[in-house]
Amino acid sequence: MKVLGVDLGGTKIKIGVLDEIGNIEKIYLYPTKEPIYESLEKAIDEVVAIHSNIAAIGIGTPGFVDREKGKVIFSSENLPGWSGTEVKKKLESKFHIPVIVENDANVAALAEVKFGAAKGYDNALMLTLGTGVGGGVIVDGKILYGPNGAVGEFGHMILYPGGHLCNCGRRGCQEQYVSGRSLERRMREANVDMTPSALMQAKKHNQIAGAIIDDFTYDLALSISSLQAAFDMDILILGGGVSHSAEYWLGDLNKHLKNLLFHPLKVEVAKLKNDAGMIGAAQLMFMA
């Protein structure tokens, strides 16, 4: 059986043709255009026209998703007009095959558990450190859901009450301390004029860079210790753009974690990188 795994992003739509063990037969890329739904449907239509044996479609999308209805409850301004879209209903009436819609961070977590860094673990938490911070929780091999489709919004757990203003309107959210943007803020405040990846590489011979990384990894360790207290997972996967430089700071993170965790925790960097959303979205169909 072949299924489509669709990773809908703010700039591109990535569609993979996959089998149940995660093998990717072919990947197609399309630009995300407005109106978003029409752009998505057209892209899928083109792939389905090439592959006549597609049995189902899994979609990973940013935002909160009503999984039962396959409807986007809320999505940010990155995807104008996307909030409220009945994705499942519309795609099923167009293509006449089953469609499952899920939050993109959740499907990435699922992909890492099935085929990536958390393979072999049933209880995993993925913390995605990108421009913002998000994630997904896998319990007994399945995505953990809430009634509002908002499990894994780790970026808005408050780390420092009264701290930096977050774009959610509150102060001190974790996103303001461990995201890519927060690293840039730390560098601005310290008058460090280099890219975040140059900063990571400079930490050994640059005291200011070392201090920034120490603060960043301490805050990340604080966040992870709270997540362990809440979820008691077997393994924590770090994903997102910030995780790409983890080789330079994972040691610092583990040093801080030693003093903050209740019990040892395996921390790994995501393996599937940019394919995780697509692979996880396809996998949804085999979990149903």
Tell me which residues touch Zn ion (CB under 5 A): 156, 166, 168, 173
Q: How far is the CB of 123 from Zn ion (least distance, A)?
A: 26
Strand segments, DSSP code E, in 140-185 are 142-143
Reported as type and span, the H/E element at residue 198 is helix 196-202
**Look-up of token digits 């590489």:** 201
**CA dist., res. 164 & res. 185, Å (int):** 10
Q: How far is the CB of 168 from Zn ion (least distance, A)?
A: 3
Q: How are strands ordered across the β-sheet holding 2-8?
A: 24-31, 12-18, 2-8, 54-61, 99-103
Output DSSP code: residue 184: H
CA distances from 93 to 51, 97, 132 (A): 19, 8, 34
Show the tokens assigned to 15: 């569609």
**CA dist., res. 258 & res. 243, Å (int):** 20
The residue among 24 and 158 lying less far from Zn ion, judged by its C-beta, is: 158
Residues 218, 123, 105: CA angle, nearest 5 degrees? 70
The residue among 55 and 165 lying less far from Zn ion, judged by its C-beta, is: 165
The residue among 55 and 168 lying less far from Zn ion, judged by its C-beta, is: 168
Q: How far is the CB of 223 from Zn ion (least distance, A)?
A: 13
**CA dist., res. 284 & res. 288, Å (int):** 6
Q: What is the distance of C-alpha 227 from the center of its chain?
A: 16
The residue among 156 and 203 lying less far from Zn ion, judged by its C-beta, is: 156
The residue among 56 and 166 lying less far from Zn ion, judged by its C-beta, is: 166
Q: How far is the CB of 171 from Zn ion (least distance, A)?
A: 8
The residue among 166 and 200 lying less far from Zn ion, judged by its C-beta, is: 166
The residue among 32 and 223 lying less far from Zn ion, judged by its C-beta, is: 223
- Angle at which helix 246-260 crosses helix 207-231, to 10 degrees, equals 50
Q: How far is the CB of 248 from Zn ion (least distance, A)?
A: 27
Q: How far is the CB of 245 from Zn ion (least distance, A)?
A: 24
The residue among 159 and 270 lying less far from Zn ion, judged by its C-beta, is: 159
Strand segments, DSSP code E, in 82-140 are 99-103, 124-129, 133-139
Show the tokens assigned to 220: 């990340």
**CA dist., res. 223 & res. 175, Å (int):** 10
Residue 112 neighbours by CB distance under 10 Å: 28
Q: How far is the CB of 98 from Zn ion (least distance, A)?
A: 35
Q: How far is the CB of 180 from Zn ion (least distance, A)?
A: 15
